[in-house]
């Protein structure tokens, strides 16, 4: 509970970045938030339809990718509906949710749908690492195992998101009053939960980068090795690796600024948040900007799969694909070793 007893619920804190009634009407237009949400939902639906048309049996990678796109779609649907509703209501969160139940729900959703793409990206990197470095290892029922991995990621992200409801950290309404997220306060519980969220997300990105680097290096070594003609990777393996690298780059660009900002804010001395729960105006604005950048991850993820498929690349670059196919089917002969003196 915040020290200010006039606040209606535990998720409300005095906002230093107050806005006038006229400014509220200007920035509260729901059209931008609704357009942003519709764009993301349409992109994920397009990717899901493309995945539905993939030939069976599906690989573990495609199953994990389907879980990622489905998670992004549900995340935009749940959080976007709340944000658009608050914009339409001119940020009257206290009147609509005085008991903070909706805020707690959205806080859990923000953490859940924020961590799931990063954890699923690490799971996909692990799957490709094993598939490339251990090509003869094939798990039984790969589809079931992949969906079990997706379910495990969902349970882990949900367990972390529920921690503030159990006393570790707090969810609070963020400026301008249209969304709820973890509290960047100086209390030990807030610091511990914020660091746990940021470090888990950062470790997922770091693990993806490490495993993908090894996988790409292995593919390059097989392509250019002495036995390249016999051990040349299939086109689908290269396609999956290109898509995975694209997903990793999108996640890194979109999420790392927010994760780094959370760590810097929580560890800053003196604390950024005052004892009454106020944040500096610049901090409120930066948090909102970084959150909007992170949300682009849910919009760009499906386009990585949509655009970096072999069928699309062949249409966009027919000459390049023909050259690659020619080199794959008829590699240049290996140069003879130089004779001794």
Q: With bands split at pLDDT 50, 70 and 90, how would you rate the model's confidence at 139? A: low
More confident residue, 238 or 50: 50
Instruction: Report pLDDT digits (tens) over 3-33.
Output: 555 566 889 988 755 566 666 666 767 888 8
Question: Residue 332: is its pLDDT beyond 60?
Answer: no
> Which of 279, 113, 287 is CA-nearest to residue 185?
279
**What number is the average pLDDT over the span 305-315?**
77
Instruction: Report pLDDT digits (tens) over 96-112.
Output: 899 999 999 999 999 99
- pLDDT at position 131 is 86
Helical ranges in the chain per DSSP H: 21-27, 30-52, 60-88, 93-96, 101-133, 142-161, 188-224, 228-231, 235-267, 281-307, 310-316, 318-329
Instruction: Give the whole-angstrom CA distance, residue 122 versus residue 223.
Output: 25
Instruction: Give the whole-angstrom CA distance, residue 106 versus residue 108.
Output: 5
Please list, in sequence order, all residues whose beta carbon lies within 8 angstroms of the beta carbon of residue 300, skipping any fewer than 6 positions away: 250, 254
- pLDDT at position 163 is 97
Question: Residue 304: is its pLDDT beyond 50?
Answer: yes
**What number is the average pLDDT over the span 159-187?**
94
Question: Residue 120: is its pLDDT beyond 90?
Answer: yes
**What number is the average pLDDT over the span 289-300?**
96
- pLDDT at position 23 is 61
Instruction: Report pLDDT digits (tens) over 183-215.
Output: 999 999 999 999 999 999 999 999 999 999 999
Query: Whole-prediction pTM value?
Result: 0.88
**What number is the average pLDDT over the span 284-294?**
94
- pLDDT at position 65 is 95
Please list, in sequence order, all residues whose beta carbon lies within 8 angstroms of the beta carbon of residue 53, skipping any fewer than 6 positions away: none
Lookup: tokens for 301: 């993820």
Instruction: Give the whole-angstrom CA distance, residue 164 versus residue 51.
Output: 36
Rg, Å, the chain Cα set: 24
């Amino acid at each position: 509970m915040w020290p200010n007893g006039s606040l209606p619920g535990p998720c409300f804190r005095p906002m230093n970045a107050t806005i006038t009634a006229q400014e509220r009407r200007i920035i509260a237009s729901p059209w931008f938030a609704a357009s942003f949400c519709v764009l993301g939902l349409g992109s994920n639906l397009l990717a899901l339809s493309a995945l539905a048309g993939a030939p069976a049996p599906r690989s573990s990678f495609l199953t994990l990718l389907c879980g990622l796109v489905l998670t992004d779609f549900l995340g935009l649907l749940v959080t976007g509906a709340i944000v658009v509703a608050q914009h339409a209501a001119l940020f009257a969160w206290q009147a609509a949710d005085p008991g903070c139940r909706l805020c707690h729900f959205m806080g859990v959703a923000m953490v859940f749908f924020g961590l799931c793409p990063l954890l699923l990206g690490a799971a996909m990197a692990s799957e490709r690492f094993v598939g490339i470095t251990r090509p003869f290892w094939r798990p039984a029922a790969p589809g079931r195992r992949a969906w079990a991995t997706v379910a495990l990621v969902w349970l882990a992200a949900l367990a972390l998101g529920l921690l503030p409801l159990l006393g570790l950290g707090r969810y609070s309404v963020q400026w301008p009053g249209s969304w709820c997220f973890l509290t960047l306060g100086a209390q030990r519980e807030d610091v511990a939960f914020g660091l746990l969220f940021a470090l888990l997300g950062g470790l997922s990105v770091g693990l993806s980068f490490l495993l993908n680097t090894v996988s790409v290096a292995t593919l390059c070594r097989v392509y250019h090795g002495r036995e390249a003609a016999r051990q040349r990777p299939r086109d689908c393996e290269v396609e999956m690796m290109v898509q995975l690298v694209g997903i990793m780059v999108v996640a890194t660009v979109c999420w790392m600024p927010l994760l780094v900002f959370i760590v810097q804010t929580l560890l800053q001395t003196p604390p950024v948040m005052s004892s009454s729960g106020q944040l500096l105006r610049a901090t409120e604005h930066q948090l909102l900007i970084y959150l909007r950048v992170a949300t682009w991850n849910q919009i760009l993820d499906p386009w990585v799969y949509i655009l970096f498929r072999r069928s699309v690349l062949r249409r966009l670059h027919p000459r390049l694909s023909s050259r690659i196919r020619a080199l794959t089917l008829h590699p240049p002969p290996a140069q003879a070793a130089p004779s001794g003196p």
